[in-house]
Amino acid sequence: MKTLLQIKTSVFSDHGNSTKLANEFVAGWQKANPDGRVVVRDLATEPLPHLSAERVQAFFTPAAQRTAEQQAHSSASEELIDELKAADVVVLGLPLYNFGVPSTLKAYFDHLARNGISFRYTANGPEGLIADRKVYVFAARGGFYKDTPADSQTPFVKAFLNFIGLRDIEFVYAEGLNVSEDQKRSSLEAASAEIVRLAA
């Protein structure tokens, strides 16, 4: 049985454009995989704590030396990593907020980045420890940023996912959503057409 992990990052949860696009893909994937399982992690309704000194120290402390609180911090991070490892397909809804990713997604990434668990340093450089799998990113933007220096999202998300081992990444963009109603409609229609192709 295949498993799809959907990560929602819009502050509007299911009402955000990026989530709506991701939901379209998930619905198509479910039709193509009727026996598949969908796991949803909604960072708007269940946000993760941002890193603190205590949490980072817990990650760095050897397991045998952790306090109960440190072990709880470490275990919460490892559950997220295990959830990702268990997925055959990953779907990420990605709105653009003030030229960057939502802070909740950054917090999620910070919990995934664990030396010796999701990546390791070697003499030849860092090596991702999460086996590659397909990742679909549905990026919704109010303006036009794709392939411009102002698009900090795409290289950041690619770099992080590559760092932990995920390299098979496909982006679908819906841009200019705040420019006009006509632009929003045409952009979302184009993204939906691409989703139909990908989910088939």
Annotated binding site: 10
**Residue 59: what residue type?**
F
Distance CA 113, CA 121 (A): 12
The H-or-E segment that residue 122 falls in is strand 119-122
Backbone angles phi and psi of 145, in degrees to 5: -130, -20
**Residue indicated by tokens 């030849």:** 124
Residue 178's SS3 state is coil
| Residues annotated in a binding site for FMN | 10
